[in-house]
Amino acid sequence: MNTPDNPISPPPPRTSGAAITRAQFLSIFVGVFLPMLMAALDQTLLATATPTIAADLGGLRDSSWIAVAYLLASATIVPLYGRFGDHRGKRNTLMWALGVFSVGSLACAAAQTMPQLVAARVLQGLGGGGLMMLSHALIGELVPPVERVKYQGYFALMFATASMGGPVIGGFVVSHVSWRWLFVANLPLAAFAAWRLTRLPPGDRHPRAEGGADIPGQILFVIACVSLLFWLTSGGHRFAWASGISVALMTTAAASTALLAWNESRQRAPFLPVELLRDRTIRLSAILIVMFAACMFAVIFFLPIYLQLGHRMSAQVSGLLLLPVTAGQVTAAMAAARILRRTGQPRMIPVIGMSLTSAGLLLLGVLPPSVPLIIVLGFVIGLGLGTVMPVNQVVVQTIAGRTKLGAASATTSLSRSTGGAAGAALFGALVFAMIPDVDRQTILQHADTLDLTLVIRAFHRGFLCAAAVAALGAFTAWRMPQMTLWHPGGKAKVELKSE
Q: Which residue has the higher pLDDT, 350 or 207?
A: 350
Give the residue from 169, 201, 233 where a domain finishes: 201
Note whether residue 457 is domain-resident. Answer: yes
Element (H, E) at 146: helix 145-150
Dihedrals φ, ψ of 235, to 5°?
A: -60, 135
Residue 106, CA atoms < 13 Å, CB-side half-sphere: 10
C-alpha 287: how far from chain center:
14
Coil vs helix vs strand at 493: strand
294-303, 441-450, 471-480: least confidently modelled range: 441-450
Q: What is the mean pLDDT of the chain?
A: 77
Is residue 115 domain-shared with residue 197, that is, in the same domain? Answer: yes
Which pLDDT value is given to residue 2? 39
Is residue 173 domain-shared with residue 307, that is, in the same domain? Answer: no
Q: Is the pLDDT of residue 11 over 50?
A: no
Is residue 277 domain-shared with residue 409, that is, in the same domain? Answer: yes
Mean pLDDT, residues 253-282 taken together:
82
149-163, 275-289, 433-447: least confidently modelled range: 433-447
Residue 70, CA atoms < 13 Å, CB-side half-sphere: 24
Note whether residue 4 is domain-resident. Answer: no
Is residue 352 domain-shared with residue 445, that is, in the same domain? Answer: yes
Is residue 458 domain-shared with residue 352, that is, in the same domain? Answer: yes
**Torsional sign, CA 144, 148, 150, 151:** positive
Structural domain total, the chain: 3
Is residue 295 domain-shared with residue 265, that is, in the same domain? Answer: no
Mean pLDDT, residues 364-385 taken together:
90
Q: What domain range is 222 assigned to? A: 215-270
Q: Is the pLDDT of residue 470 over 90?
A: yes
Note whether residue 425 is domain-resident. Answer: yes
Which pLDDT value is given to residue 352? 95
Dihedrals φ, ψ of 485, to 5°?
A: -75, -35
Is residue 392 domain-shared with residue 333, that is, in the same domain? Answer: yes
416 Cβ contact list (under 8 Å, min separation 6): 289, 290, 292, 293, 389
Kindly report the CATH number assigned to the domain that includes residue 451.
1.20.1250.20
Give the residue from 243, 270, 297 where a domain finishes: 270
Which pLDDT value is given to residue 168? 66
Rounded to an integer, what distance in angstroms lies between the CA atom of residue 406 and that of residue 404?
5
What are the C-alpha distances in Å from 481 to residues 245, 347, 385, 390? 42, 7, 21, 18
pTM, to two decimals: 0.74
Q: Is the pLDDT of residue 39 over 70?
A: yes
Is residue 458 domain-shared with residue 401, that is, in the same domain? Answer: yes
Q: Is the pLDDT of residue 13 over 50?
A: no
Nearest in space to 128 (alpha carbons), one of 173, 170, 90, 71: 71
Is residue 191 domain-shared with residue 223, that is, in the same domain? Answer: no
Note whether residue 2 is domain-resident. Answer: no
pLDDT tens-digit map of 270-317: 767 677 788 888 899 999 999 998 898 788 777 877 887 777 776 667
Mean pLDDT, residues 173-198 taken together:
84
Which pLDDT value is given to residue 6? 38
Say if residues 274 and 79 touch (Cβ distance below 8 Å): no
Q: Is the pLDDT of residue 190 over 90?
A: no
Say if residues 455 and 310 touch (Cβ distance below 8 Å): yes
Mean pLDDT, residues 149-171 taken together:
66
Rounded to an integer, what distance in angstroms lies between the CA atom of residue 117 and that of residue 412?
28
Percent of the chain with pLDDT over 90: 16
Nearest in space to 308 (alpha carbons), one of 432, 421, 464, 456: 456
Which pLDDT value is given to residue 56? 80
Say if residues 293 and 417 touch (Cβ distance below 8 Å): yes
What residues are paired with 3 via a beta bridge? 6
Mean pLDDT, residues 456-470 taken together:
90
Is residue 196 domain-shared with residue 236, that is, in the same domain? Answer: no
Note whether residue 440 is domain-resident. Answer: yes
Say if residues 62 and 238 touch (Cβ distance below 8 Å): no
Give the residue from 168, 201, 234 where a domain finishes: 201
Note whether residue 364 is domain-resident. Answer: yes
Note whether residue 299 is domain-resident. Answer: yes
Residue 225, CA atoms < 13 Å, CB-side half-sphere: 25
Is residue 83 domain-shared with residue 96, that is, in the same domain? Answer: yes
Is residue 22 domain-shared with residue 165, that is, in the same domain? Answer: yes
Note whether residue 13 is domain-resident. Answer: no
